[in-house]
Structure 1
Amino acid sequence: MSNIILEELEPELKQRLQQRAMRNGHTIEAEITSILSIVLLSDISTNSNDDLTKQIAQRFAPFGEFDIPETPREAIREAPTF
């Protein structure tokens, strides 16, 4: 594994990182690795699976805008009595 050196880390940030590591039962190094993994792996999945709404809009963009006709409904029937 590679070594990464963080210089000039704000004291409050260092303290919060230590507290989080203790809460999760990790060393500071393991906690940093965990945080980076979560952030970077979610970034990959977000980029590869763009917002579903955008994907759907792009898929149907060539058809232009259209209205979906409303389906007529019948009145609700009475509940049966046994």
Structure 2
Amino acid sequence: MATITVRDLDDALKAKLRVRAAEHGRSMEAEVREILRMTLLEDRSAIALGSRIRERFGGLAADDLLAPRASDPARAADLDR
């Protein structure tokens, strides 16, 4: 097993890591191992397309998903949401 040291970790990031580790009942070190494992070993191509779409757009309200009518005038995209 290898050992790594992370220097200059932002205090806010460390605090979030501490909270996340506590939520999962793990030490901060174990939480970092799990984050790395999930991030680096996950095969995104193996996840079904429908699951990926739900993951990306699942938080949108139904009104956000409605297509405009053909008679509606064109409008600029709202990029601030």
What's the TM-score once normalised by structure 2's chain length? 0.53
Give the equivalent residue in structure 2 for 1:38. 38
Give 1:46 deviation, angstroms.
2.6
What code does the residue aligned with 2:28 have?
A: I
- Which consecutive aligned stretches of 4+ in structure 1 deviate over 3 angstroms post-superposition? none
Give the equivalent residue in structure 2 for 1:23. 23
Select the structure of larger CA radius of gyration: 1
**Counterparts of 2:33 and 2:13 in 1: how far apart (Å)?**
16
**Percent of aligned positions that are identical:** 35
Matched residues, number: 49
What's the TM-score once normalised by structure 1's chain length? 0.52
Query: Quick check: which one's helix share is greater?
Result: 1
- CA root-mean-square deviation: 2.0
Provide, for residues 23-77 of structure 1, a one-character-per-residue CA deviation record: whole Å limited to 9, x for no partner: 10000110000000111112xx236x5x97xxxxxxxxxxxxxxxxxxxxxxxxx
Provide structure 2 residue ranges, at least 5 long, that are not aligned to the other structure. Answer: 50-81
**Counterparts of 2:39 and 2:30 in 1: how far apart (Å)?**
14
> Equivalent residues in 2 for 1:1-82 (5 A)?
1-42=1-42, 45-46=43-44
**Counterparts of 1:32 and 1:13 in 2: how far apart (Å)?**
12
